[in-house]
Chains A and B, each alone.
Chain A
Amino acid sequence: MENNLLLKVEDLKLYFRTTKGPVQAVDDVDFILPKHQAVVFIGESGCGKTSFAKAILRLLPRNVGEYSGRVYMHGADTMLMDDEEFRHKIRWVKMSMVPQAAMNSLNPVLKVGDQVAEPVIIHQDLSKAQALEKAKEMFKRVGVPVDFLNRYAFELSGGMRQRVAIAMALITEPDLVVLDEPTSALDLLTQANIMNLLKRIKKETDASFILITHDIATSSELADRVIVMYAGQIVEDGDAHRFFENPLHPYSKKLMASVPRLRETVEPEFIIGQPPSLIDPPKGCRFAARCPYRFEKCKQDPPLFNIKERLVKCWLYEPGKEQIPA
């Protein structure tokens, strides 16, 4: 197991300063990622999933209040590195990212080929010609015609731009690729094509993937494992097959019930109320106010209980307690 470990995150905190007080976007997150695994982070907007990705990649905005914890990549704590070292050794070398709305994150005044080649010029000291050769290979792999190397981003359709962004994240052959909502701005058929591409790439490489999305149906396309975040914390973490069949945490159950189904006639439900403010989150379980199963104990903060290899942050799963009805 130790050898197989890629990323280990302990007590990760990322707070933002605001005039009203610190926003606890990521609060005490523990997370272990083995090699060659695709993990999906799901949750509503504002639950801290993108902040979590930015925290491990250290792509931080200026108003960071507190940023602490330990992030081990191949056993080395990246939090001890200074920014320059982190840039040289980790970002885009060991882990890369396809940002949210990647299709609009390309530089409009650079040819897409040059943009895709740039990471290897910087990090692997290739000449420009070698780098472009490599970019060409990447284009073939992600299904972009090779003559697009000389085009600008505005000349490409949304799906093609997304493929270019994926090529840029893969060109340095990182061990971990973070995909932040890779398909949310795309059309349905394009979305399905991109998911097919990601599945193929996952098969072909040894890389691990972190997929961040609020689209639960799409998330199931890639997931080996599912992590549910709520109000800055991980509330459930487990195998995808078991999760989609039977989510454990009351929030996960509600979230799954809110997904409209195409092939089943179940009426979707909605979750009453809103996620709590992260400036002053409730003490104890953060979902308690909206939870149909809440009881006395929910006033205390539940730990992550281990239920047959699945982790769930809910007092209902305290050992010795009866299970809640499915």
Chain B
Amino acid sequence: MKTKTMKPEQVVSAGKKSGDLLLSIKDLRVWFELRRFGFGHAGYVRAVDGVTFDLRQGEAIAIVGESGCGKSSLMKTILGINTPTEGTLVFEGKDISDYNREHLQWYRSQVGYVQQDPFGSLPPFMSIQRILEEPLIIHGEKNAAERLRRVRKVMEEVKLTPQEEFLPKFPHQISGGQQQRVVIARAMILEPKLIVADEPVSMLDASVRVEILKLLRGLQETHNLAVIYITHDLSTVRYFSERIFVMYAGKLVEKAPMDRLLKQPRHPYTQALLAATSDPDANNASHYKDVPPGEPPSLVNPPKACRFHPRCPQFMDGLCNVQDPPEFVPEPDYYTLCWLYDPNLDATLTAIKR
């Protein structure tokens, strides 16, 4: 159906440091088939198109990208909700990309999910106690007293105290910040090794936002949790992650350690993202922002070769729109999908001119 055209560089996993390998994703593709009138094939939405990365135990990474770049599809695949079209997903040495039932049940107890909209993700007809007990019931904890003990413990950890006060309450009776704590508690209760947090603070007020991020950070450190933090807000990743992956139109265009990426972004898309993020400063009002126009492309028919080329300020005709950039490594542990960092750029350019 599809041909794999993979450059060897693409298989190189990002980051090889101490800490056991927890999750390893290789050349993951998630394509959704579009049908015409319910049966005729009408193409694919290439939501995730060749994503490769490794995640170590206890490591926090951030996936940054705009809406429609495929970050939610990637996340849902990591959670075992979508099945990958191609590629492998290895968790603690077990390949779970085949997603058989038995594997999935175990895998889902290992991976916690913190949703974006706390109120929308909590069932309105269940009390906090019931919400937090639910995962334990599903995963076979039959002893009610033991369940309650674990619920109390996790509530203590997310600082939903005093527990007695919150246990009988329903989601609408507590504030947004507290709802998000319940969501985090629910993700934590099975003592997972990995937490996937999808924009966990974007629905919250600025003052609560920091509180929730600090809570997540604290949990990550005390439990040595791996966290995948998905966001569009670059200004919060600084406080959270060791590495940043920048996603654009289904691909990870840049994978780099947080401080280096923020200091010296390489990919023109990352540069644009950083330029678009403002810090509160009244001088902002007096000048225009230098951001590329346009919108992210449709994933049904993405631009050929480099997918950012129609918007890129440093577009090189004949190269960027013709050949897919492989992963270049301008410095150790820094991976970028951009022809500008081809060490033999001059040679490549003369080659295409011929």
Q: Mark A203-223, 1 if CB is under 8 A from B, else 0.
A: 000000000001111111111
Q: Which residues of A contact B277 (CB under 8 A)?
A: 188, 217, 262
B209 CB contacts on chain A under 8 angstroms: 258, 260, 270
Contact between B291 and A196, CB atoms less than 8 A apart: yes
Q: Would B210 and A269 count as touching, CB distance under 8 A?
A: yes
* Contact residue among A192, A243, A256, A264 (Cβ-Cβ distance under 8 Å from B276): A192
Q: Is A268 located at the chain interface by the 8 A CB criterion? A: yes
Which of chain B's residues has its CB closest to A256's CB?
A: B280
| Minimal beta-carbon separation of B290 from chain A (angstroms) | 9
Q: Mark A10-40, 1 if CB is under 8 A from B, else 0.
A: 0000000000000000000000000000100
The answer to whether the Cβ of A267 comes within 8 Å of any Cβ in the partner chain is yes
Most chain B beta-carbon neighbours within 10 Å: one of A195, A258, A262, A271: A262
Complex CA gap A44/B177 in Å reads 12
Most chain-A Cβ atoms within 10 A of its Cβ — which of B205, B239, B274, B280?
B280
Stretch of B7-15, B144-152, B230-238 on the interface side: B230-238
Assess A221 versus B284: contact at CB under 8 Å? Given A260-B235, A260-B236.
yes
Query: In the complex the two chains form, is A270's CB within 8 Å of B207's CB?
Result: yes
Q: Are B280 and A217 in contact (CB under 8 A)?
A: yes
A127 in the interface (beta carbon within 8 A) = no
Complex interface: chain B residues within 8 A of A265 (CB): 238
Docked Cα-Cα span, A78 to B295, in Å, equals 41
Q: Mark A65-81, 1 if CB is under 8 A from B, else 0.
A: 00000000000000000
**CB < 8 Å: which of B233, B275, B281 contacts A220?**
B281
In Å, the complex CA distance between A9 and B274 comes to 39
**A199 — which chain B residues lie within 8 A by C-beta?**
285, 288
B193-211 to A contact mask, C-beta < 8 Å, 1/0: 0000000000001111111
Whether B282 contacts A189 by the Cβ 8 Å rule is no
**For B177, what are the chain A residues with a Cβ–Cβ distance below 8 Å?**
274
Is A95 positioned at the interface, with any CB of B under 8 Å from its CB? no
Known: A187-B67, A187-B296, A189-B292. A262 touches B276 (CB 8 A): no
B205 contacts A262, CB within 8 Å? no
Is B262's beta carbon under 8 Å from chain A? yes
Whole-angstrom distance from the CB of A111 to the nearest CB of chain B?
A: 21
B289 proximity list for chain A (CB < 8 A): 192-193, 195-196, 221
**How far is A158 from B232 in the complex, measured between Cα atoms in Å?**
15
Per-residue interface assignment for chain A, residues 229 to 270, with 1 indicating a CB less than 8 Å from any chain B CB and 0 otherwise: 000000000001101110000000011101111111101111
CB distance from B203 to the nearest CB of A (A): 9
B139 contacts the other chain (CB 8 A):
no
Q: A173 interface residue, CB < 8 Å from B?
A: no
Q: Is the CB of B238 within 8 A of A241?
A: no
User: Does B293 have its Cβ within 8 Å of any Cβ on chain A?
Assistant: yes
Size bracket, chain B contacts: 35 or more
**Chain B residue contacts of A218, Cβ below 8 A:** 278
- B239: chain A residues at CB < 8 Å are 260, 267-268
Residues from chain A with Cβ under 8 Å of B288 in the complex: 196, 199-200
Tell me if B348 counts as interface (CB < 8 A to partner A). no
Provide a sorted-by-A list of 18 A–B residue pairs whose CB atoms are within 8 angstroms: A38-B285, A189-B292, A192-B289, A200-B288, A218-B278, A219-B280, A220-B280, A221-B284, A222-B285, A224-B285, A245-B282, A258-B210, A259-B279, A262-B238, A265-B238, A270-B209, A270-B214, A271-B207
- Interchain CA distance A224-B280 in the complex, whole Å: 13
Q: Mark B263-281, 1 if CB is under 8 A from A, else 0.
A: 0000000001111111111
Check A193 against B291 for contact (C-beta < 8 Å): yes
Q: Is the CB of A240 within 8 A of B276?
A: no
Q: A245 to B209, alpha carbons, bound, how many Å?
A: 22
Q: Is there contact, CB below 8 Å, between B295 and A157?
A: yes
Contact B207 A260 (CB under 8 A): no
Q: Please list the residues of chain B having a beta carbon within 8 angstroms of any beta carbon in chain A.
A: 66-67, 175-177, 205-211, 214, 232-236, 238-239, 262, 272-285, 288-289, 291-293, 295-296
What is the minimal beta-carbon distance from B170 to any residue of chain A, in angstroms? 17
A17 to chain B, nearest CB (A): 20
A220: B residues at CB distance < 8 A: 278-282, 284-285
How many contacts A-B (CB < 8 Å)? 127
- Judge whether A270 and B208 touch: CB under 8 Å: yes
Chain A interface size, as a band, is 35 or more
A270 CB contact (under 8 Å) in B210, B272, B281, B284: B210
- Assess A188 versus B285: contact at CB under 8 Å? Given A196-B291, A268-B239, A270-B208: no
A271 (CB) vs chain B CBs: closest residue:
B207
Nearest-neighbor residue (CB-CB) of A267 within chain B: B239
- Identify A223's interface contact among B66, B175, B206, B285, CB under 8 A: B285
Q: Are B291 and A255 in contact (CB under 8 A)?
A: no
Interface contact B234-A240, CB-CB below 8 Å: no
Partner of A189, one of B207, B238, B283, B291: B291
On whether the beta carbons of B238 and A258 are closer than 8 Å, the reply is no
Contact present for B232 and A187 (CB under 8 Å): yes
Chain A's nearest CB lies how many Å from the CB of B261? 11
How distant is the Cα of A264 from the Cα of B280 in the complex, in angstroms?
A: 11
Question: In the bound complex, what is the Cα–Cα distance between A158 and B68 (angstroms)?
Answer: 11
Q: How far is the CA of A261 from the CA of B66 in the complex (A)?
A: 19
**Given the complex, which residues of B lie within 8 Å of A174, measured CB to CB?**
none
Q: How far is the CA of A103 from the CA of B304 in the complex (A)?
A: 30
Chain A residues, Cβ within 8 Å of B278: 192, 217-218, 220-221
Q: Is the CB of A241 within 8 A of B295?
A: no
- 8 nearest A-B residue pairs (beta carbon): A192-B276, A187-B66, A270-B211, A271-B207, A241-B282, A240-B282, A44-B205, A192-B291
B296 → A minimal CB distance (Å): 7
B280 pairs with A216, CB closer than 8 A: yes
What are the residues of chain B within 8 A of A223 when measuring CB–CB?
Answer: 282, 285
Q: Are A262 and B235 also in contact (CB < 8 A) when A241-B282, A256-B280 are?
A: yes
Given contacts A222-B285, A244-B282, contact A189 B66 (CB under 8 A): yes
Q: Chain A contacts of B234 at CB under 8 A?
A: 188, 262
Cross-chain contact A188 with B66 (CB below 8 angstroms): yes
| A217: B residues at CB distance < 8 A | 235, 277-280
A187 surroundings in chain B (CB, below 8 A): 66-67, 232, 295-296
